[in-house]
Amino acid sequence: MAAGEGNLILGIDIGTTSVKVCLVDPNNKQVLSKQTKDTQANVPSDLGSEGNKQDVPKIISALNSCVSRLPKDQLKQVGRIGICGQMHGVMLWSNKEDKKAWDCIETYMGCRFEIPKENVSALYTWQDTRCERSFLDTLPVPQCHLPTYSGYGCATLFWITRNRPDKLERYNRAGTVQDFAVAMLCNLDHPIMSVQNAAGWGYFNTCVAEWNSDILQGASFPTHLLPHIVKSGAIAGTLDRPWYGIPSGTSVGAALGDLQCSVLATMQKPDDAVLNISTSAQLAYVMPPQFEPNIQCPVVTPVEYFPYFDQKYLAVAASLNGGNALAAFVCMLQHWTHELGFNVTQSKIWDTVLSLGGQDCAVSSLRVVPTLLGERHVPEQNASILNVDPGTLGLGQVFQAVCSGLIENLYGMMPRQMLVASNIERIIGIGSALTRNKVLQKQVQEWYKLPVDFMSGGDAAMGAALAVVECQ
């Protein structure tokens, strides 16, 4: 089949914990097959816990592996590729005139991509806290409605410029990891970025879809690294080589934000809000079409307005603390048991805490504030435990209190009253940290007291696939 004739869409989501891919039939929006793989890509930072970095070759290897496991006959029928991924993060790479940062290794089904380590920096993720408030205070005031926080691409690039200038000599391109994946698939010399991901870097005026170039230049920011901007849903290029059976010439969409794609895949009616809990957590709903943010001054608030599709915005409570807080709890238990001389797998611990936390006797007055990473609007806040008495020390009680605390924290950012005032009638819960966790699901119902449905199908990879068909 020639390129462009295929009728299936490949959706890709490059998340903080895992890569997910799916093949979608656009006629009935059915997912025909899907694959997921944990990237296991975290790498230690020389800054200790302030740095949060991931290994890009490992992420791309997980992507290759997921795509290679999709049915061969369906891969041949792919006519478009849509990509999204973890927002805010930044990586650098080096494209030479005659040699790009990636290698294509021929296989019998078309090429596989490999990334020589020396051609790329680490991915500095959205969880990176190296830009302390005192550092952020030295940066110029942006002309856009979204403030710049630690972990945002432009803040990290400012930090690198001032503290590791040698990196700017080693690399000549920058983007999110999903922009890198698009550049790699299309063999692009300069990365292309959608408005959604640009907004997540800071210093980007979403009303005119332009970087704050003058402000950045005036502050000695390396503006030559800023990707070219296109509308969210636009095509960035075409597949340069056959990839595991997908024909070369297949259109590839500019990478999108995972949050926006999750909402696109999930929302059924305008009065639905979407709650996604994966590594992080977001509660979001679509603003009326006439809404426009005030670009004159960025304001630090728990609810922010992120660009969606078709000039619309999402109202979002984006919490840094989601499944990562639960995963940290599970990891802590594993360490403790190891220190006590036992070996228990993480999956056994998950099964146990989910079962104990779901029992009636797990209800208690224990209160956990699980904000291990703080929040963007209160970066100095740590986690804490309150109301401990001898009757609240059971493992089930503690796990349930952590789950309750996660939803209470989101509730504090976007309370029920705000949803009701915006005519929201239902919450749809998605994301693997929520759909796999009945204890957490129950807490959503208890806190919000609104109808809640949980869906495991509609995820960001599917939204990325739908976006390249519906949001052109």
Ligand X SMILES: Nc1ncnc2c1ncn2[C@@H]1O[C@H](COP(=O)(O)OP(=O)(O)OP(=O)(O)O)[C@@H](O)[C@H]1O
With CB under 5 A as the contact rule, the residue among 6, 11, 15, 247 that binds Mg ion is 15
Q: Per rule CB under 6 A, is residue 273 in the interface with ligand X?
A: no
Q: Are 181 and 115 in contact (CB under 8 A)?
A: no
* Spatial contact of 285 and 273, defined as CB atoms under 8 Å apart: yes
Stretch that binds Mg ion, among 8-16, 129-137, 222-230, 436-444 (CB under 5 A): 8-16
Tokens matching residue 360 = 């009636």
Interacting span for Mg ion (CB under 5 A) from 14-22, 120-128, 225-233, 312-320: 14-22
State whether the Cα torsion 152-175-156-276 is positive or negative. positive
239: buried, middle or exposed (CB in 10 Å: 19+, 13-18, 0-12)? buried
User: How far are the Cα atoms of 55, 128, 163 from residue 168, in angstroms, in the given order?
Assistant: 18, 19, 11
Q: What is the DSSP code string of 155-214?
A: HHHHHHHHH-HHHHHH--EEE-HHHHHHHHHHT-SS-EEEHHHHHTTSSEETTTTEE-HH
Please identify, using beta-carbon distances, which residue of 38 and 292 lies nearer to Mg ion: 38
Among 12-20, 50-58, 263-271, 414-422, the segment contacting Mg ion (CB under 5 A): 12-20
Least gap, CB of 440 to ligand X (angstroms): 9
- Nearest approach, Cβ of 253 to ligand X (angstroms)? 18
Subset of 51-70 contacting ligand X (CB under 6 A): none
Whole-angstrom Cα distance, residue 171 to residue 101? 10
Nearer to ligand X, 16 or 441 (CB): 16
In whole angstroms, the minimum distance from the beta carbon of 90 to ligand X comes to: 15
Q: Which of 250, 324, 364, 397 binds ligand X (CB under 6 A)?
A: 324
Among 41, 267, 326, 471, binds ligand X (CB under 6 A): 326
CB of 262 to ligand X, least distance (A): 8
- Among 194, 250, 278, 364, which residue interacts with Mg ion (rule: CB under 5 A)? 278
Chain-centre distance of CA 9, in angstroms? 21
Tokens 């305008």 -> residue: 270
Residue nearest to ligand X (CB): 15
Residue range at the interface with Mg ion (CB under 5 A); choices 99-107, 274-282, 396-404, 414-422: 274-282
The entry of ligand X, Mg ion, none near residue 327 (CB within 5 to 8 angstroms by kind) is ligand X
Q: Can you tell me the distance from the alpha carbon of 129 to that of 383, in angstroms, rounded to the nearest whole number?
A: 16
Number of residues that bind Mg ion (CB under 5 A): 3
Task: Find which of Mg ion, ligand X, none residue 131 binds, CB within 5 to 8 Å per kind.
Answer: none
**Which of 290, 345, 347, 417 is the binder for ligand X (CB under 6 A)?**
347
Per the DSSP assignment, residues forming a β-bridge with 385 are 368
What six digits make up the tokens of 103? 């290698």
Rounded CA-CA distance 432/398 in Å is 21
Enter the tokens of residue 382: 């740590």
438 binds ligand X per the rule CB under 6 A? no
DSSP codes joined into one string, 56-75:
HHHHHHHHHHHHHTS-HHHH
Pick the binder of ligand X from 82, 233, 253, 323 (CB under 6 A).
Answer: 323
- 350 makes contact, choosing from Mg ion, ligand X, none, with CB < 5 to 8 Å by partner type, with ligand X
Kind and range of the H or E element at 417? helix 416-421
Identify which of 331, 371, 367, 365 has the alpha carbon closest to the alpha carbon of residue 347.
331
Q: Which is nearer to ligand X, 15 or 222 (CB)?
A: 15
- Residues 57-76, one symbol each (x = binds Mg ion by CB under 5 A, - = not), give --------------------
Question: Least distance to ligand X from the beta carbon of 346, Å?
Answer: 7
**What are the DSSP calls for 359-408, one per residue?**
SGGG--S-EEE--TT-BTTBTT---EEE---GGG-SHHHHHHHHHHHHHH
- CA-nearest of 276, 266, 272 to 286 is 272
- Binding site partner of 432, from ligand X, Mg ion, none, Cβ cut-off 5-8 A by kind: ligand X
List the one residue from 61, 64, 86, 319 that touches ligand X (CB under 6 A): 86
Closer residue to ligand X in complex, CB, 232/279: 279
Residue 178 binds which entry of ligand X, Mg ion, none, CB below 5-8 Å type-dependent: none
Residue 345 interacts with, from Mg ion, ligand X, none (CB under 5-8 Å by kind): none
Total number of residues that touch ligand X (CB under 6 A): 20
What CA–CA distance (Å, rounded) separates 256 from 246?
21
User: Measured from the CB atom, is 59 or 155 closer to ligand X?
Assistant: 59
| From ligand X, Mg ion, none, interface partner of 323 (C-beta below 5 to 8 A by class) | ligand X
Q: How far is it, in rounded angstroms, from Cα 151 to Cα 101?
A: 24
Residue 436 contacts ligand X per CB under 6 A: yes
Q: How far is the CB of 59 from ligand X (least distance, A)?
A: 10
Q: What is the greatest pairwise CA distance in the chain?
A: 69
Judged by CB under 6 A, the residue of 205, 437, 441, 443 near ligand X is 437
Neighbours of 320 (CB within 10 A): 22
Q: Which chain residues interact with ligand X by CB under 6 A?
A: 15-18, 86, 258, 278-280, 323-324, 326-327, 347, 350, 431-433, 436-437
Q: Which chain residues interact with Mg ion by CB under 5 A?
A: 15, 258, 278
